[in-house]
A and B are shown apart, each in its own frame.
Chain A
Amino acid sequence: AQSVSQHNHHVILSEAASLELGCNYSYGGTVNLFWYVQYPGQHLQLLLKYFSGDPLVKGIKGFEAEFIKSKFSFNLRKPSVQWSDTAEYFCAVNAGLGGATNKLIFGTGTLLAVQP
């Protein structure tokens, strides 16, 4: 069965520090990969996604992620975090039919706290 692992459960950074959140998935076939973010008191929203093409994808608010097929990884990065980036971040892969459906398998999430 497909699974997604996020190794960092809780990350605390100071403003302007660089961020990298790890995400690994287990599936040998074609996958589509996503990062979602949930700001305090808000609903989940899409940060960025990878379907094909350039493995370095850019999302909203200065976030980017790199798909490394050989490592089954899709790590999220941001060069300089802000206090407003405090949120929970979820990595997800879509499952079934070689990624043809929208059924998503999520990681357990990483809680990021940015200190001003």
Chain B
Amino acid sequence: GAGVSQSPSNKVTEKGKDVELRCDPISGHTALYWYRQRLGQGLEFLIYFQGNSAPDKSGLPSDRFSAERTGESVSTLTIQRTQQEDSAVYLCASSRLWDSGNTIYFGEGSWLTVV
């Protein structure tokens, strides 16, 4: 596709429910990144993928958060037993390769509200 695509664009969920956020990177991009942006804060790194493997998961806030990527394309970020503090914009990004120098392209984000 032309850009990084994320779905849903908006999600309201009840506390305790599980949610899945989907990211479609730009075709041919091997590196994929997930970031979180809470209201009034900067972007927090969550995880990145090189192909289907995730060399760096250091930003995942707790074991309720997990992500996978299949076929070097689509990635899913899953949040189990959502809490109110999970409310944020979840941004996905991709780049052609994982090493620095490769421009990172961001999607428009998935707005998650936990009530």
Residues of A bordering B, CB below 8 Å: 4, 6, 32, 36, 42-46, 51, 90, 92, 94-96, 99-109
Contact = CB atoms under 8 A, between A and B. Distances in A.
Interface stretch (B14-22, B63-71, B72-80, B100-108): B100-108
Nearest to A106: B43
A87 B102 CA distance: 24
A50 B104 CA distance: 14
A99 B101 CA distance: 9
Contacts of A104: 33, 43, 45, 104
Size bracket of the B interface? 20 to 34
A102 B31 contact: yes
Q: Which 4 residue pairs spanning A and B have beta carbons closest together?
A: A108-B42, A106-B43, A44-B106, A106-B42
B99 A102 contact: yes
B100 A101 contact: yes
A46 B43 CA distance: 14
B41 A102 contact: no
Nearest to A98: B100
Contacts of B98: 101-102
13 contacts: A43-B4, A44-B93, A45-B106, A46-B103, A46-B104, A90-B43, A100-B100, A101-B98, A105-B45, A106-B43, A106-B44, A108-B41, A109-B42
